[in-house]
Structure 1
Amino acid sequence: MSKHQEIRAHYDNKTITVYQAYNKLIALPAIKNNKFEAPFSFTRMAWIKPSYLWLMERSNWGTKNNQDYILGIKLKRIFWEKALQMGILTDPDHLVYKSGLEWEQKFKEAKVHIQWDPERNIEGSKLQERTIQVGISRFLIEEYNNEWIEEIIDLTPLTKKINQLRKQGKYSEAKRLVPKERIYSLPEVIEKRIGVR
């Protein structure tokens, strides 16, 4: 039975793919070098998302200003799970924290933020299931860039193709091209920490 909040992702034994959208000045050097460089900001939080369709909703299929390049970032799973182990939810979930005060104290010191948002389908509609996005703070962003990333893939052409099929009403064809995502299992202690349920 599907859970209400769970991680679904495209992954293999070593890596998990997360998605981000950037402009050309950030995206092209990142694709070339498999790491980010200025004007990418190393002083603000970077939000990474393992749901392709959620990012499509956020970036309007790569058509929003400064979000026209869709990147698939392959992270080493050991670091992805490290981030989750450090994560603090962006709201005081009563099933995770004993009190609002406990959450507030932890959130102030958090190096990783965890947020659950409604998952989307190929048509852009909200689903009952919620999907995770993970905020990597400025305290970890250099490590993220230098150690966590295995490869950065340009998914812009694929995204344009899928979106074109959507515009033609060919949702079944479009859905077949979406990166395949499946449930990403975690140790129970991490699931409890980040609100998987």
Structure 2
Amino acid sequence: MKTEKYQLYKERIPKQGQHIIASYDDEGIIVYQAFRPSIAAYAVEHQRFGGTDYSFDRMSWIKPNFLWMMYRAGWATKAGQERILAIKISHGGFENILEEATYSSFNGKVYESHEAWKAALEQTEVRLQWDPDHGPNGEKLERRAIQLGMKGDILKKFNEDFIISIEDVTDFVASQREKINNHDQLLVPAEQVYKTSALLAQKLQLD
């Protein structure tokens, strides 16, 4: 995992607006999830999700932005979120998820009416949310971060077709958790703005 000093990251990344912030290369894009140890251990060993503790009947949320994941998981200290996984998925798979996504709440710029939004919400297997992004110490930022929830067939497709690799980055998280009050020393994954097609950008209301 390529990393950089948080202060450099902070200077490069847009401070406002809606952007998909992520680590990616020509092969794919990294998304993050946090799990209990048993689920994470199975996923790393098999490079797929499964086992007795993982359920395909629940909605599973992915987050491309590392610091957003750290805020939600309390830097791997919250119960059931003690292990952080960096999951590389194909660009085609990620864009498939974005194409299928419906906003969790009504957005008048995307849906012509509440009825149209509710109909889309009933049919979709992907939920889309834009939430305030957060800094290393949990401080709320003006920039907004995306998270995507999957269920049903697309969750199975994510698991069987989209995943390229699964890496447990909990040790890295723990080492950096000790530095969250020292931004000159704090390291984060090197991320940048992820570009999509014009059609997707309009749907996602990207800035």
> Conserved in 1, the CA contact under 8 Å of 2:93 and 2:162?
yes
Partner of 1:179: 189
> Deviation at 1:89?
0.8
Partner of 1:12: 25
Aligned residue for 1:11, secondary structure, equals: coil
Normalised TM-score (structure 1): 0.94
> Conserved in 1, the CA contact under 8 Å of 2:30 and 2:64?
yes
Normalised TM-score (structure 2): 0.90
Given candidates 150, 166, 171, the residue that maps to 1:152 is 166
Once the two structures are superposed, what CA deviation does each residue of 1:93-131 show, in whole Å capped at 9, x if it has no partner? 111111111111111101111100111112221111101
Runs ≥4 residues deviating over 3 A: none
> Deviation at 1:57?
0.8
> Conserved in 1, the CA contact under 8 Å of 2:71 and 2:136?
no
Partner of 1:42: 56
Aligned residue for 2:108, secondary structure, equals: coil
Q: How does 1:71-82 map to 2 (within 5 A)?
A: 71-82=85-96
Structure 1, gaps ≥5 residues long: none
> Deviation at 1:179?
0.6
> Conserved in 2, the CA contact under 8 Å of 1:62 and 1:68?
yes
Q: Give the aligned residue type for 1:160.
A: A
Distance 1:50 1:11 in 2: 10
Aligned residue for 1:165, secondary structure, equals: coil
Distance 1:40 1:77 in 2: 25
1:190 matches 2:203: no
Structure 2, gaps ≥5 residues long: 1-12
Q: Give the aligned residue type for 1:107.
A: L
Once the two structures are superposed, what CA deviation does each residue of 1:21-53 show, in whole Å capped at 9, x if it has no partner? 001110011111211112111111110000111
Q: How does 1:100-119 map to 2 (within 5 A)?
A: 100-119=114-133
Once the two structures are superposed, what CA deviation does each residue of 1:147-190 show, in whole Å capped at 9, x if it has no partner? 11000011100000000112xx322211xx21111000111111
Q: Give the aligned residue type for 2:183.
A: Y
Distance 2:124 2:184 in 1: 41
> Conserved in 2, the CA contact under 8 Å of 1:43 and 1:138?
yes
Distance 1:137 1:195 in 2: 23
Distance 1:14 1:30 in 2: 20
Partner of 1:28: 41
Q: How does 1:104-143 map to 2 (within 5 A)?
A: 104-143=118-157
- What's the Cα RMSD here? 1.3
Distance 2:146 2:190 in 1: 16
What is the count of residue pairs matched by the alignment?
Answer: 193
Distance 1:193 1:85 in 2: 9
Distance 2:136 2:80 in 1: 22
Once the two structures are superposed, what CA deviation does each residue of 1:57-105 show, in whole Å capped at 9, x if it has no partner? 1111101111100100001111000110111111111111111111111
